[in-house]
Amino acid sequence: MRRIDAIGIGFGVFVAGGIAYLGLQLVGLDNQQAGIWSQVLLVSCLLGWLATYVFRAVGKKMTYHQQREDYEQAFFQKRLDELTPEELAKLQAEVEQERQSQR
C-alpha cells in the first residue's frame, strides 16, 4: 500500500465518522449521544476489519503469501522444464525410491 492510499483511507474514515455523527443528529440524538454512537460505530468497524485481517494472516491468504507461492511454483516449473529426459527419469526414480523407503 502506498502512502497516499493510507492517507486516503484515513481521510475516508474521518469523513465517515463525521457523516455518521451528522446522521445520528438528524435522527434526533443530542450532540453527546451522537458522538458516542458514532465512535461506537467506527470502533466496531475497525475491530471487524482487524478480525478479517487476522483471519487472512493466520490462514495465509495474504497477497504476499500468494505471490510467494506463485513464484515458487513458477520457479520449480522452470527448473523442471530445463531438465533433460534422462535427468527427469533419474529424478522420478529417486522420488519413487524415497516413497518406497518411507512405507
pLDDT at residue 27 greater than cutoff 90: yes
Domain locations in the chain as residue ranges: 1-61, 63-103
Instruction: List C-alpha distances in Å: 42 to 36, 47, 56.
Output: 10, 9, 21
Binned at pLDDT 50, 70 and 90, residue 56 comes out as: confident
% pLDDT > 90, the chain: 47
Q: What's the rounded Cα separation, in Å, for the pair 39 and 42?
A: 5
pLDDT at residue 23 greater than cutoff 90: yes
Mean pLDDT of 30-36: 93
In one-letter notation, the amino acid at residue 49 is W
Model confidence, pTM: 0.56
pLDDT tens digits, one per residue of 60-77: 777 888 888 899 999 999
pLDDT recorded at residue 32: 93
In one-letter notation, the amino acid at residue 98 is E
DSSP 16-46: HHHHHHHHHHHTT--HHHHHHHHHHHHHHHH
pLDDT at residue 101 greater than cutoff 90: no
